[in-house]
Structure 1
Amino acid sequence: MEKPSVRKIKYAGNHIYEDQEIADVVRTGTGSILNLYRINEDIERIKSLYTEKNYHNCEVTYTSEMLDNNQADISFNIEEGDKLKVKQILFEGNKFFQEKEIKDVIKTDEKGFFTWITSSGELDKNELEQDVYRIEALYKNNGFIDARISDPEVIFEKDHILIRFKIQEGDQYKVGSVNFNGDLIVSEDRLMQTLKMKTGDLYSREKLRTNLFAITDIYMDKGFANADIVPAINKDDESKVVDITFQIEKGSPVYIERILISGNSKTRDKVIRRQLAVYEQQLYSMSGIQRSVKNLQRIDYFENVDIKTSKGSREDMLNLDVEITEKATGAFSFGGGYSSEDSLFGMISVSERNFRGKGQILSAKAEVSSSSTRFTLSFTEPWLFDIPLSFGIDAYNWDKEYDYYDKDSKGGAIRLGYMIFDYTSAGIRYGYEDFTIDNVNTDFTEVDEGQYVTSSITTSIGYDSRNRPFNPTEGSDHSLSVEYAGGFLGGEIDFTKYIAETGWYYPLFWKFTGFLHGKAGFLDDRSRDDIEIDYERFYLGGINSVRGYEWQDINATPENEDEERGGEKFIQFNAEIIFPILEDINLSGVIFYDMGDAYTKDEDMELEDLYSSFGGGFRWYSPMGPIRIEYGQILNGNEYSGGRWEFSMGAAF
């Protein structure tokens, strides 16, 4: 008898999924020949669909209704059951590690008090399979080279799930001798220095892999891109020791034949090539490739950077394929708001960080607030004459109302900078400023009215290894600058100012980043006695120094004087923990602790009596630029003493 064809497919009892959602996984279709084998497969697919939402006790049956014309209607009858969660995870055979230590490394977890708002207790079979390898890794990375973990036993009860892992720990082994055989291109001592697992350490599979990569990197850095390094393990069951011998075949040296760049529709090839730490016809270098990727990421022209290898024209040749994805580097932004320093403000700016695809930086900005009006224009050529010599020119007009006087400035600067080593640069800047001081409140400041000229040269040296300019997660940023004004340069203002700054970023755990920052300065004022340059002195307080205090709250004014006075020297420390909140929009959170003070020239810097504060806030890399909103709580000994919200638009520290 000929098999009937399917006229219609029905679904009954389903509430969690719509009919169409179930139909999407069912292979039997209308018009197809009724096939019981395929029907049973469809039942399993429907069950799997429900399993994805933790309905593990779902039951599915089918009925068929025979019709005229050799046709049939199929009905899938679904009993969804209850949503099941993991109630308990059991371990058998574990003696060395406690249950809690094992549970800490697996992804499957037990339902808890907050199960109704979290995913705790949900069973993901893929993760459960990986948990076997996670437990095995825990043991094998702690000396248990023979540890075995059975497939987990999953028990579906009426209203919950039980999971049982059976563990065979075996014995714990330490590392005995570590040897190297074969083609050695560096000394054994040099190879031994790279190892993370040495004689006497507990055997660790992960550290063995790390050691293998470290040795491989040494060979790949010397041009041996095809080096074959195999660790041979000899296990002594009596002494519980593992001897490791690395068998090394270096192969032939490999050279970079061509560097091929793709994906750059705007950025010129030479702008990309000058960031590369490897060159055509040189020996292959893994560290050079890694440094090249980091350099290209740091200039922030590209969404993605990838460097792959491909075969060259000979066996000893490789091509490097530099694949990049460009991103927008120009920005037009405007906005307004409230700043803790300038009150109400408005801003409009136009900038291009990759002007004409040559890597040049051009920017214009206007800022107007209730106490300040500033216009700036800036241009930078980072590679003058195609060498790592940067050239820049700045011009500005800045009218600023301070608390006790007004300063109207017009000026400009010419800058030169040179990249000495990787991440290390030196710079020199000549600045000229013509400014007027007026509306002086002589009851509170010694600043004198009049028109002045500041002519200065600033020399600086800096080191910047941060992985990105905004919200970095690793690297450091250090600088030392000396500004000399007056003297043979002319002008009425005569001083030397020294500034030293350091900042360290390091990963903590998950995506949390630690940041330690320090800054100190000294001013040697050589101006005439009738010229007061308090505006060049140091004040602390505000979002870029000791948060919680207003700007100029921390100063060097003697206790018996009313006239506010900045310090000839200062010091500040900042510690932060930064963490992502919404990564898609670059929103981060921060908690911090600040310390600092300003001092007169003859005053001792007493670090135990620094002003301090703590707090937290948010940082957002918005289309208008970096925005910071932070609250600082002042600490006065062991007591709290007020605090304030801070807001700014611009870079941190």
Structure 2
Amino acid sequence: MRLSTWGAVPFYQVKTSTLGKLARSASVCALLSVAWVASSVPAQAQQYQFNSVQINGNDRIGDAAILRSAGISRGQTISGGQLNDAYQKLQNSGLFESVEIEPRGGTLVISVVELPTLNRVRFEGNKRIKDEALEQLIGSTERRVFNPSQAEADAAAIAEAYNSEGRIAARVQPRIIRRDQNRVDLVFEIFEGDNVEIERLSFVGNRKYSDRRLRRVLGTKQAGFFRRLVKRDTFREGQVDVDKQLLRDFYLSRGYVDMRTSAVNGELTEERDGFFVSYNITEGQQFKFGEVSVVSEMPGVDAEAYRKIVKIRPGVIYSPTLVEADIARLERQAIRDGVDFMRVEPQVTRNDRDLTLDVSYVISRGQRVFVERIDIEGNTTTLDRVIRRQFDSVEGDPFNPREIRQAAERIRALNYFETAEVNAREGSSGEQVVVDVDVVEKPTGALNFGGSFSNNDGIGVAVSFAEENFLGRGQKLSLSISTAEDATRYGINFVEPALLGRDLAFGLNIDYAETNSSYASYDTERLIIQPSLTFPVSGNGRLSLRYTAEQIDLLERDPIENGLTIAGDIAADPQISSSIGYEYTYDTRRSGLDPTSGVLFQFSQDFAGLGGDSKYIKTVAKVTGEKRVFNEDVTLRATLEGGALAWQDGTNRVVDRFLLGPSIIRGFEPGGIGPRDTSGTSNDPLGGNLYVAARFEAEFPLGLPEEYGISGGVFYDVANLWDLDDVNLNGGNIQGEAGSFRHVVGVSVFWTTPVGPLQFNFSKALQSEDFDEEQSFEITLRTQF
């Protein structure tokens, strides 16, 4: 009787198919051997007894280890089946290329060919994924026994990594090179292939929203004009589920509670370099809020008192986000009232007749469960306190599942972690809960190189360093240098978002700028030091308190002849202002009742006179309203703003007053409207103490393929800048001090490119003054790369 492997393969250049034969040879040989034994052995089971065992071919593995693996002892009587089992054990041990077992009288001869030792693992042909990343994917380890099955599995794992990046045509072939002393090198030859792009994203069943609008919702994008620079147009199978949830959230926030995605179909192009992806959706009907009520099932809690806290009103388009916001308000009020373990559960009643949803907030007493502790793992850089302050609950507080979910969202929103999982489990008793936080850190620092171009400041470059999680404390630190033909700027900005562990942000901004604009006959040097404190005052409102120390110097530029007023400002030498101020911001563009519209309101004042050379009050107010119409394909925007400078002491210079640029009124150069000194050759703008401006604009698609990223717009701007009270005119020839309204219309072209948003403005002044400086074309590009 002789059991052996069958058809050994030499180790020179073995490809995937050959490795598979090596790995599967044992099972084939076993079947052939068993068949041979069955055909040649008499019906009565044969018994064997060996007085000695002879082992041949083993260098690294000792005789005793081989016998233990085979399960055979000297002098033991075994059957033919047991002998076959011993062969199978040796073959399946993963240590031998081939095994032979042959009884020779009272001696059992075991001959083995050991698998070689893996000397070195290399990767060839990989550019997109580095060697270090591939090494983390494979199980083959240097200086271990080479395993053909493991090499095949490693090749499959590498191919899957490329597939996940959209390179489904990637191929991986393991190749073996034999070395001396029974060693081999394992080389993975990689053909990466090209990215499989999304050629077309389409939707079936959508009636309310166009394909163009829904494509903006998805995280995946169509392959565009700059497809080689865009990464989001690569097909990734795992992204489909994410996109389905994004679609669901989009429709839910707009009242379509029955929306569902019934299927997602992907079709590979004939060239196998692209996909056509189609989403089959059912929109359903849009629902609004019906009756909203509060019911108390908790003794001592007045439902009517809590009903006044609810913000939702009947007739508003239904959104789960608004319901969650109401519940959070009710629970916060309960904490202020000293009511523990209060739970608020929304009960929704559907009225198909009038397409409304009645919401009843049921107040009840929840389980008496406390937070035993919060365990945080995985944060190698970020301090525990940065994560803990995202929780409203601390150890010993009543457990509230909704608060835990909201804390999880806040932790993810920090953008410090690749993944962040927050789960609750039972603690040391049934009344205790342990909250587990598992995070995986990601890089939070960035060194950015950028560029800008505008016909106002010319071509510029920018270099900045930003760290969003400085020293793991959750602080933000940025250093920036930007240069353009007409301006140079250096800045340092630091933000502590949770001063003293509270929702109180401390900021420090230091900014130094030099300008030599072609739109003025003088140069400027400006240094600003500004610390600030910012905190919430309502759900959508924030208040910022600040102190500003500012030094500004006007420099004469030879050989230009300045106007008399500007010459007086230059002669005033550097001026220092010291002021305190505040800014209130109210913003509903993201968290308002209507997801298709929003309002931004800003109001600020600065009071100078705490030392320094100037004493004044500067007030600025702005309100912006935005609305998306025509199934959200068109965005309408209106802005009204104004400012007033009340000067009381010191030298009121041009750099202290308001100067209007294209960001406030298009169609004119920076400082192109308002009072002007024409006594010199420079025709300098003087600015004004008062201004008011309104901008109305619409942005809409142009009918071009969406992947080009080009859209259009129209605008109408009107503004006035006037008043030179408390200004030393020095006998200059002043025009436009009384002011007049300028009117401008124009069209815009927006081009979203991989290197940044590019904007073209073509404008025509309908009403202007003879001394104004018009600008009918403007182009702006800002980017980071």
1:390 to 494, 506, 521: 506
Report if aligned partners of 1:569, 1:598 keep a CA contact under 8 Å in 2.
yes
Going from structure 1 to structure 2, the CA distance change for 1:338 and 1:464 (only over 3 Å counts) comes to: same
Going from structure 1 to structure 2, the CA distance change for 1:397 and 1:313 (only over 3 Å counts) comes to: same
Letter in 1 for 2:743: Y
Report if aligned partners of 2:626, 2:635 keep a CA contact under 8 Å in 1.
yes
Residues 1:546 and 2:546 are matched in the alignment: no
1:358 match? 473
2:621 to 477, 497, 500: 500
Give 3-state SS (helix, strand or coil) of 2:664's partner: coil
Report if aligned partners of 1:578, 1:591 keep a CA contact under 8 Å in 2.
yes
Give 3-state SS (helix, strand or coil) of 1:266's partner: coil
Residues 1:570 and 2:703 are matched in the alignment: no
1:54 match? none
1:217-232 equivalence runs, <5 A: 218=330, 222=334, 224=341
Report if aligned partners of 1:268, 1:358 keep a CA contact under 8 Å in 2.
yes
Distance 1:272 1:340 in 2: 46
Letter in 2 for 1:268: L
Residues 1:401 and 2:536 are matched in the alignment: no
Letter in 1 for 2:665: V
2:743 to 597, 606, 611: 611
Residues 1:268 and 2:391 are matched in the alignment: no
Report if aligned partners of 2:371, 2:432 keep a CA contact under 8 Å in 1.
yes
1:429-578 equivalence runs, <5 A: 429-433=547-551, 435-439=553-557, 441-443=561-563, 446-448=566-568, 449-450=570-571, 451-463=573-585, 478-485=601-608, 487=609, 489-491=611-613, 493-503=614-624, 516-526=638-648, 531=651, 533-542=653-662, 544-557=663-676, 564-574=685-695
Letter in 1 for 2:657: R
Going from structure 1 to structure 2, the CA distance change for 1:636 and 1:478 (only over 3 Å counts) comes to: same
1:159 match? none
Distance 1:175 1:432 in 2: 55
1:84-483 equivalence runs, <5 A: 182-183=297-298, 186-189=301-304, 194=310, 218=330, 222=334, 224=341, 250-262=365-377, 264-284=379-399, 288=403, 292=407, 296=411, 300-301=415-416, 307-322=422-437, 327-384=442-499, 386=501, 388=504, 390-401=506-517, 403-409=519-525, 411-419=527-535, 421=537, 424-433=542-551, 435-439=553-557, 441-443=561-563, 446-448=566-568, 449-450=570-571, 451-463=573-585, 478-483=601-606
Report if aligned partners of 1:538, 1:567 keep a CA contact under 8 Å in 2.
yes
Going from structure 1 to structure 2, the CA distance change for 1:628 and 1:432 (only over 3 Å counts) comes to: same
Report if aligned partners of 1:502, 1:517 keep a CA contact under 8 Å in 2.
yes
2:137 match? none
1:65 match? none
What is the TM-score of this pair, normalised by structure 1? 0.56
Report if aligned partners of 1:184, 1:248 keep a CA contact under 8 Å in 2.
no
Report if aligned partners of 1:220, 1:285 keep a CA contact under 8 Å in 2.
no
Kindly state the Cα deviation for residue 443 of structure 1 after the two structures are TM-superposed.
4.1
Going from structure 1 to structure 2, the CA distance change for 1:523 and 1:642 (only over 3 Å counts) comes to: closer
Report if aligned partners of 1:257, 1:280 keep a CA contact under 8 Å in 2.
yes
Letter in 2 for 1:598: L
Kindly state the Cα deviation for residue 356 of structure 1 after the two structures are TM-superposed.
1.5
Distance 1:353 1:246 in 2: 39
Kindly state the Cα deviation for residue 413 of structure 1 after the two structures are TM-superposed.
0.9
Distance 2:708 2:401 in 1: 31
Deviations, residues 23-77 of structure 1 (Å, cap 9, x unaligned) = xxxxxxxx9xxxxxxxxxxxxxxxxxxxxxxxxxxxxxxxxxxxxxxxxxxxxxx
Distance 2:210 2:326 in 1: 28
Letter in 2 for 1:427: L
1:636 to 755, 766, 773: 766
Going from structure 1 to structure 2, the CA distance change for 1:495 and 1:303 (only over 3 Å counts) comes to: farther
Report if aligned partners of 1:221, 1:285 keep a CA contact under 8 Å in 2.
no
Kindly state the Cα deviation for residue 305 of structure 1 after the two structures are TM-superposed.
6.0
Distance 2:616 2:292 in 1: 64
Kindly state the Cα deviation for residue 433 of structure 1 after the two structures are TM-superposed.
1.5
Going from structure 1 to structure 2, the CA distance change for 1:229 and 1:573 (only over 3 Å counts) comes to: closer
Report if aligned partners of 2:452, 2:781 keep a CA contact under 8 Å in 1.
no
Deviations, residues 395-441 of structure 1 (Å, cap 9, x unaligned) = 52524335233234253414131425465233222313252421264
Going from structure 1 to structure 2, the CA distance change for 1:212 and 1:326 (only over 3 Å counts) comes to: closer
Distance 1:481 1:213 in 2: 28
Distance 1:343 1:182 in 2: 68
Going from structure 1 to structure 2, the CA distance change for 1:233 and 1:336 (only over 3 Å counts) comes to: closer
5+ residue gaps, structure 2: 1-27, 29-203, 212-221, 223-243, 257-261, 263-281, 283-288, 335-339, 726-735, 768-773
1:52 match? none
Report if aligned partners of 1:267, 1:359 keep a CA contact under 8 Å in 2.
yes
Distance 2:523 2:357 in 1: 74
Going from structure 1 to structure 2, the CA distance change for 1:275 and 1:230 (only over 3 Å counts) comes to: closer
Kindly state the Cα deviation for residue 473 of structure 1 after the two structures are TM-superposed.
8.7
Report if aligned partners of 1:197, 1:208 keep a CA contact under 8 Å in 2.
no
Distance 2:685 2:436 in 1: 61
Distance 1:314 1:589 in 2: 60
Give 3-state SS (helix, strand or coil) of 2:671's partner: coil
Report if aligned partners of 2:760, 2:780 keep a CA contact under 8 Å in 1.
yes
Greater RCO structure (CA 8 Å; 6+ sep): 2
**Mean Cα deviation higher: 363-372 or 377-386:** 377-386
Report if aligned partners of 1:339, 1:646 keep a CA contact under 8 Å in 2.
yes
Give 3-state SS (helix, strand or coil) of 2:574's partner: strand
Give 3-state SS (helix, strand or coil) of 1:272's partner: helix
Letter in 2 for 1:647: T
Going from structure 1 to structure 2, the CA distance change for 1:321 and 1:395 (only over 3 Å counts) comes to: same
1:647 match? 780
Kindly state the Cα deviation for residue 540 of structure 1 after the two structures are TM-superposed.
2.0
Report if aligned partners of 2:762, 2:777 keep a CA contact under 8 Å in 1.
yes
Distance 1:273 1:406 in 2: 53
Kindly state the Cα deviation for residue 310 of structure 1 after the two structures are TM-superposed.
3.9
Distance 1:591 1:188 in 2: 50
Kindly state the Cα deviation for residue 357 of structure 1 after the two structures are TM-superposed.
1.7
5+ residue gaps, structure 1: 1-30, 32-87, 90-101, 108-116, 118-129, 143-150, 152-164, 166-173
1:75 match? none
